[in-house]
A and B are shown apart, each in its own frame.
Chain A
């Protein structure tokens, strides 16, 4: 599994990175692999509040639905509209297929580095 070193991770299989003052959030390779082909996303609206450790949306595969948890507390600054049209991007290139960008971040979930996250994955596999 290839989990980029420059990203941080949650135990619930989201990645997060800081970019120009915004926190960018996506799903990890482990998550997309476990879900299978993703067919739909339910994402918040720009301006919605998200809270670290709480659900902000969900992803659907054909026969399952999974919650997505926010790694940070803040306000949604952007939603990846392109992804809503092309959910396959998550399966094909999950570390570029960001879901939301969060601004005004006031707190974060306990974040793991790639190594620690891989350990989490190893225990779940």
Chain B
């Protein structure tokens, strides 16, 4: 496919902006840009077709089954998009007087009320723009809390070895030292290891439950108790919230603060990698450290921007990814109390149903009832046939399925992680199961074919080594070379 720059021809253009109708201002020569600006010069029809071509080389949720573990690729309801496109939301300036922003402030206020109830938290900020940004913000709450008590020796954050990579990275950014604890044989937190890890230097624990293996840790109350008794706080990574809504809440499991990924659990689209939204919830005692601004309501029923007493300051300009919050609020209003619980139950049911169908053909890493996702280990298959998790994933592309997450979590060898979500029908799961079973058969009969997979995609097995060794990160114009 040609690049925009290769479609460009001198003097082709669109007529978008009228000429200036005030006297044209000329800047002093010394201030002006001299370097040529080589943006594409292109007609609207060529531009439009270019992106239609690119769209055909992308896999959206509507292009087929998308069991990408840990990413919750559920269907994105169209009404959410329609709501977020309302002019009353898109055309408002963030620095308008608050009296002219009552609807926007109410969106944040209502989203906060609903999500606090769903999570068991007492307050929430919508400033963080993504999950990792939320983790960072949540960890700063913990940091502020210990600082406010002059408890400066608490410098360690405990992270299980099965955690998302963002957890340890966020902890470092928030100024903590990371202590890794290993998992037990059931994939849960090893209580003994945890007891040994906590102490006077423990600032807190970061945990995903269900964890990245798709398992709910039955010892969760004991885990949070151990941390609390040592004087630490418990942070809940809400990445896997889609498994438990309506059944159990982080706030009731003993967590003090957490983030949600609205772009996973609450139906807002991923946009090819973003924008997301990572609101952070907390218990009453941490409210006073929340970033500015939060939204409050006064006696007259008017909403206003508020600043927490000992606010950590800002983590993003303005008020976060507002339109994503609009979409999530629309989603929650649509589903309501029954629908929210039903979404999670069916996410879990679909995962168990699919896992059960694949069991005879693949090794399940932890053979027990899973939550919204499960992990296969292709270690044995690789030893027997030479076919790796990567080969199976790439082969699934030929069947029109987005590959499962590969090689994560790190503690399972040759891992494939599948998360069907609740918005897939039984037929889709049956078809997908047949396809993966067929791939398992192919692995034994014709492993060579799988090493070469995919066979029907535009490209096959790009050279990632060369890409990293000799990075080409932008288009090079001919006269540059």
Contact = CB atoms under 8 A, between A and B. Distances in A.
Nearest to A36: B465
B75 interface: no
B478 to A, nearest CB: 25
A33 to B, nearest CB: 15
Contacts of B469: 37, 39-40, 87-88
Q: Is the interface of B mostly helix, strand, loop or mixed?
A: helix
A64 to B, nearest CB: 10
B468 interface: yes
B407 A63 contact: yes
A63 B373 CA distance: 23
Contacts of A60: 468
Nearest to B407: A63
A39 B407 contact: no
A40 B464 CA distance: 13
A37 B467 CA distance: 12
Interface in A32-46: 37, 39-40
Nearest to B406: A63
Interface residues of B, number: 5
A62 B465 contact: yes
Interface in B188-221: none
A84 B464 CA distance: 18
B169 to A, nearest CB: 13
Nearest to B410: A64
Interface in B442-476: 464-465, 468-469
A70 B464 CA distance: 29
Nearest to A86: B469
Nearest to B470: A39
Contacts of A37: 465, 469
A62 B463 CA distance: 10
B136 to A, nearest CB: 21
Interface in A7-61: 37, 39-40, 60
B178 to A, nearest CB: 15
A55 to B, nearest CB: 15
Contacts of A39: 465, 468-469
Nearest to B468: A39
B110 to A, nearest CB: 42
Contacts of B468: 39-40, 60, 62
Contacts of B407: 63
Contacts of A88: 469
Nearest to A37: B465
Which of A40, A62, A63 has most chain B Cβ within 10 Å? Answer: A62
A56 B316 CA distance: 35
A46 B407 CA distance: 37
Contacts of A63: 407
A88 B262 CA distance: 42
Interface string B48-65: 000000000000000000
A39 B469 CA distance: 5
Q: Which of A39, A60, A87 has the most CB of B within 10 A?
A: A39
Nearest to A39: B468
Q: Which residue, B407, B464, B469, has most C-beta atoms of chain A within 10 A?
A: B469
Contacts of B465: 37, 39, 62
Nearest to A88: B469
Interface string A87-103: 11000000000000000
A87 B464 CA distance: 14
A63 B407 CA distance: 10
A39 B464 CA distance: 10
A40 B468 CA distance: 8
A61 to B, nearest CB: 8
A46 B464 CA distance: 31
A39 B407 CA distance: 20
A88 B468 CA distance: 12
B180 to A, nearest CB: 14
Contacts of A40: 468-469
A50 B469 CA distance: 27
Interface string A59-81: 01011000000000000000000
Nearest to B464: A62
B271 to A, nearest CB: 24
Max chain A C-beta neighbours (<10 A), residue from B407, B464, B468: B468
A87 B469 CA distance: 8
B409 to A, nearest CB: 14
Contacts of B464: 62
A56 B169 CA distance: 20
A40 B465 CA distance: 10
A107 B329 CA distance: 63
B236 to A, nearest CB: 28
Nearest to A60: B468
B339 to A, nearest CB: 39
A39 B465 CA distance: 6
B98 to A, nearest CB: 47
Nearest to A91: B465
A62 B468 CA distance: 7
13 contacts: A37-B465, A37-B469, A39-B468, A39-B469, A40-B468, A40-B469, A60-B468, A62-B464, A62-B465, A62-B468, A63-B407, A87-B469, A88-B469
Given A62-B464, A62-B465, 4 more contacts: A37-B465, A40-B468, A63-B407, A87-B469
The 8 A-B residue pairs with the shortest CB-CB distance, nearest first, are A39-B468, A37-B465, A62-B464, A39-B469, A62-B468, A62-B465, A39-B465, A87-B469
